Structure 1
């Protein structure tokens, strides 16, 4: 798939054609009968955004899957914060379509930190009789992708896990993992060009023009680091899509100039502060003119381990018990009646859907799998707890479109957002009991007193009301016809008891002629519920309750009746509930059908 998703209208070709026509018309002929070309009317309404149910990638494809397990020897990796270096195997497997000529799009998987030996913790996997094959934990995804024509490499990072789990581990292995990933890609680039390493059958069969990488847990931070490390190599690979699955973010990674998705499960008991959200927040405005989208995805019932089948079958598969030993948190606790947890089967079904769909679209260019990523399309029923769906409240997707496909009204990146938006228009807060700007500080989730913890680190506005109140942002005659949705990320603050039934508000667009059209936020999102669970910083056991900022995306076609070519203002009117508090960022016009 091309790395350039879309260019906006107005490329100048019309002027070239018009000049040519005028030149020819001036070369002679009867002016009284000269041809006058009809010109199309200027566009005045935005394009509709596609809806429905996303294509389901779970069915096995037509190809028999071949597998080669490989070992390319050893390499030295390092931790750039404490200066440690050590050797690691270059070991894993590759699955690909058997008997097909290719070339096959290439995807690489990297597992995270886990025990490396079934014989006991702390035993080097090279010295134990029964190593734990964490790299085998995603075969349910890799085999599926291979059956549809992809080559999937899964990297064994056990030697890094043997070396990076001390009490003061500096880089926590992120650089080492990125070095290992790039070395694997180097080896396969050579094999694709000229064979070798007993893998001559793959010569010429690997399409490495655009590469996708997925990492889980510490592997998630590892693939995030890989984006930076790879670009600094003499012959970098063209990595264009990164899926960061429940990642850590100890190094405050910025992931730019690739399609990037950070997934953070609400019931994660290992990365309980949802650090994937931090990586998303840091990356979304990191580079001007970034031509790739960014995604934040929060599955509301997901823990940390179930995505990996090897970890799921371990003696302690449910990482939530790390925080909640009694398992009685009302939302994430396995012993709580009516909890909101996903079973291993459901969680692996969603892992297959999200990861396969992501790579089949953003790497393989299979158009039918693009629908989910516009934020308006439901997941297939087999990813829902009841097996049929819909379950839009289970998966909270936020989209940050490529730079050319978005117009930022207010990024809320500094206190100026209290008076002036990114367009230079005035901002007003009318009727609020309190409002302001805040930023949380990562792992403790402190810094926005209206909701502790808040596990997003974006600079954000907070607004509290106990009578009808309105936020207004002037648009100065902006033309919105090239966009499809009006987006704003909203957190329902769990520190306010007035929010316990959830929240709702009107979104109002006003044009320069005074026409006003409103849309009710709850008609277009399932994310405005009160964060579930027991108090996070409970004195005995952690609870699951925390606030996150999630997208409310309203199709512009919902505002029919305004002049989209000449908009005056947007308002968020909090008049649907008597009182409440919300946190807000990223007020943006976007195209989302990539």
Structure 2
């Protein structure tokens, strides 16, 4: 047991290392990959079924099972990065961490432990880099070969929040990790795939919500994600837009891939998590037993571009163009699927100027001045997918709808009063975020409108068409929920024609093109760091995307076969750190089903009546059984006969297990 990583279960330092065949004389940038939550023992093939978790607690699997190589599923990216000079370390977090939902009260889903595991690997690598003694199993001596001033992290699912935890552990005040890791670490970039967010209790010190301010960051959101089906990875992006003190200012981006599920970005996760896609085509075939080549293409293109642009002494910023919606996506992606992009150069007030965040009462700009509107309905509110209980309450947008297209149908956000204006001549682009509210319009046609700068004297700039900068369609999503993800449109100020940028009062949105519609409009800002290419072409001017009708429909997978409440019993008092000796007494409710409870990154939830409980474990690693821990006071207040259900987090998933009603007198 390593207290640096986890204090309640034994863990291991186990990883696959990918490297250039010849390391030469110069040190190489280091990338660390971290998988998410999954089974740790599997059986069968094509696909292998990872339904057992014995390895998590015992370090062995039952007869007929193999240890699930969760860390090998990113070789398709790691090998290519190694060919460009990176040393890639893909961490196996199976022992003591993966397939657990019953960690210490401060870290029940073990995402902080994941972060410490990443740092422990960097510590060991730094020791070999400084002192030699690299194990023979790596096939090379790493002494002097690793460049800790150029480090990047990639995390999938719970691994996403895990790598953000590693980043924050290293940089927090009085952190022990800079002393443990022998070479000073500079984290240049973090990339996440379908990450969880907010799985830490709100009381967890020092950071219940984990951000990646101060470094380049991007998140890939699979639009048909059936595991982290809330697309929670958008929440860190929204939060980081509200950090005006970011130092240094670094780009943040979202990369929303239509048709992608959660699992197939890891080739070892061989069964789909998703029931399908609503409003667009899925990227995996029904007869494709293991994974999806099309989906891997989107992962490979985005991760290669991100790390080659941001990590390494020879990093080339041009590869960041794949994330910036001012630039065309490469054909390798557009020939496969559609990708919606969100982007900011930074939230730093030295880089961006906030015009409107819709965080004041309707009719009022964020700076307190009155806005103008005609022929529309508008409210200021949260946005579905971007909002999830306490995780992201501050991301707001203008919910705008209109019934008649006209030059008189408009919304104008004003950050100065009439007759006055701001000097914006030092800025390069106007950045806005937007999405359709619903999918009632033709999915093959963009919602379009005109945008103008409003000047202090009441005049207006030339108008530009939104569709030249963003293709606004959808929303689409998984079979049970659509995702109106806010995407970015970035408009060069020079496109507004010859206009005095020294006295700009606001921005006018004119709904004169699409006959009727409803959009979310958010985060209207200016940016000053863009360098436009010599022959700039608006990103959407020539791009087309494959369009598909829905191939999924809302369904509810309700499992009842073999469901039984096996036992209701008083839990043994805690004996160690974990749940703390003075913790309130608890009740254990053991459930059994014929359909395995899948091991996901979203955590299983026991619902009794209207109350939810999320601490659980699989006894003896058997995922047909699950034991939930319920505080004794909550059990006492539950009414006998209330409905008992198991689901995953926010009821977003299609899977639900229904049991007989609660029989309190069976408590023993």
Provide TM-score, normalisation by structure 2. Answer: 0.66
Q: Distance in 2 between matches of 1:101 and 1:569?
A: 56
Q: Which moved more, 1:513-522 or 1:173-182?
A: 513-522
Q: Does 2:388 align with 1:421?
A: no
Q: Distance in 2 between matches of 1:580 and 1:185?
A: 51
Match of 2:382 among 423, 431, 439: 439
Q: Distance in 2 between matches of 1:417 and 1:181?
A: 45
1:513-532 map, 5 Å: 514-526=459-471, 528-532=472-476
Q: Which moved more, 1:499-508 or 1:164-173?
A: 164-173
Q: Does 2:166 align with 1:226?
A: yes
Q: Label 1:216 to 1:567 Cα distance change in 2 as closer, same or farther (>3 A).
A: same
Contact 2:158 2:195 in 1 (8 A): yes
Root mean square deviation of aligned Cα? 3.2
Q: Distance in 2 between matches of 1:499 and 1:349?
A: 24
Structure 2 match to 1:310: 268
Please list the CA deviations of residues 254-303 of structure 1 after superposition, one character each: whole Å capped at 9, or x if unmatched: 33222111221111111111000112112221351441121122111211
Match of 1:242 among 190, 197, 221: 190
Match of 1:271 among 228, 231, 241: 228
Q: Label 1:464 to 1:441 Cα distance change in 2 as closer, same or farther (>3 A).
A: closer
Q: Distance in 2 between matches of 1:334 and 1:210?
A: 34
Structure 2 match to 1:208: 148
Match of 1:127 among 60, 63, 79: 60
Contact 2:341 2:488 in 1 (8 A): yes
Q: Distance in 2 between matches of 1:248 and 1:370?
A: 24
Structure 1 match to 2:79: 143
Look up the SS of the partner of 1:188 in the other structure.
Answer: helix
Structure 1 match to 2:326: 376
1:341-352 map, 5 Å: 344-352=292-300
Look up the SS of the partner of 2:483 in the other structure.
Answer: coil
Q: Does 2:100 align with 1:164?
A: yes
Structure 2 match to 1:51: none
Look up the SS of the partner of 2:10 in the other structure.
Answer: strand
Look up the SS of the partner of 1:228 in the other structure.
Answer: helix
1:317-466 map, 5 Å: 318-321=272-275, 327=276, 329-331=278-280, 344-364=292-312, 365-386=315-336, 393-403=338-348, 404-412=350-358, 414-416=359-361, 418-422=363-367, 425-432=369-376, 434-440=377-383, 458-466=395-403
Contact 1:496 1:581 in 2 (8 A): no
Q: Which protein is richer in helix relative to its size?
A: 1
C-alpha displacement at 1:517, in angstroms? Answer: 1.0
Look up the SS of the partner of 1:516 in the other structure.
Answer: coil
Look up the SS of the partner of 1:319 in the other structure.
Answer: coil
C-alpha displacement at 1:457, in angstroms? Answer: 6.7
Contact 1:118 1:131 in 2 (8 A): yes
Structure 1 match to 2:642: none
Q: Does 2:239 align with 1:282?
A: yes
Contact 1:78 1:85 in 2 (8 A): no
Look up the SS of the partner of 1:124 in the other structure.
Answer: helix
Q: Which moved more, 1:355-364 or 1:474-483?
A: 474-483
Contact 1:269 1:303 in 2 (8 A): yes
Look up the SS of the partner of 1:355 in the other structure.
Answer: helix
C-alpha displacement at 1:397, in angstroms? Answer: 3.3
Q: Does 2:9 align with 1:91?
A: no
Contact 2:283 2:292 in 1 (8 A): no
Match of 1:484 among 428, 434, 456: 428
Look up the SS of the partner of 2:245 in the other structure.
Answer: coil
Contact 2:284 2:291 in 1 (8 A): no
Q: Which moved more, 1:162-171 or 1:283-292?
A: 162-171
Structure 2 match to 1:49: none
Q: Distance in 2 between matches of 1:130 and 1:332?
A: 34
Q: Distance in 1 between matches of 2:509 and 2:126?
A: 52
Query: Which runs of 5 or more residues in structure 1 are unaligned?
Result: 1-73, 322-326, 448-453, 537-541
Q: Distance in 2 between matches of 1:92 and 1:214?
A: 14
C-alpha displacement at 1:151, in angstroms? Answer: 1.1
Please list the CA deviations of residues 24-67 of structure 1 after superposition, one character each: whole Å capped at 9, or x if unmatched: xxxxxxxxxxxxxxxxxxxxxxxxxxxxxxxxxxxxxxxxxxxx
Query: Which runs of 5 or more residues in structure 2 are unaligned?
Result: 44-50, 179-184, 201-208, 532-668
Please list the CA deviations of residues 378-413 of structure 1 after superposition, one character each: whole Å capped at 9, or x if unmatched: 232223345xxxx6x43433335352221111123x
Q: Distance in 2 between matches of 1:353 and 1:191?
A: 32
Provide TM-score, normalisation by structure 1. Answer: 0.74
Q: Distance in 2 between matches of 1:104 and 1:400?
A: 27
Q: Distance in 2 between matches of 1:585 and 1:398?
A: 13
C-alpha displacement at 1:587, in angstroms? Answer: 0.1
Look up the SS of the partner of 2:9 in the other structure.
Answer: strand
Please list the CA deviations of residues 152-184 of structure 1 after superposition, one character each: whole Å capped at 9, or x if unmatched: 111111124445245998531111100101111
Look up the SS of the partner of 1:370 in the other structure.
Answer: helix
Q: Label 1:260 to 1:581 Cα distance change in 2 as closer, same or farther (>3 A).
A: same
Please list the CA deviations of residues 186-235 of structure 1 after superposition, one character each: whole Å capped at 9, or x if unmatched: 11122212222437721111111131100001101111222222223234
Contact 1:375 1:592 in 2 (8 A): no
Q: Does 2:504 align with 1:567?
A: yes
C-alpha displacement at 1:544, in angstroms? Answer: 4.4
Q: Distance in 1 between matches of 2:93 and 2:521?
A: 39
Look up the SS of the partner of 1:184 in the other structure.
Answer: helix
Q: Distance in 2 between matches of 1:459 and 1:579?
A: 22
Look up the SS of the partner of 1:221 in the other structure.
Answer: helix
C-alpha displacement at 1:547, in angstroms? Answer: 1.5
C-alpha displacement at 1:374, in angstroms? Answer: 2.9
Q: Label 1:420 to 1:85 Cα distance change in 2 as closer, same or farther (>3 A).
A: same
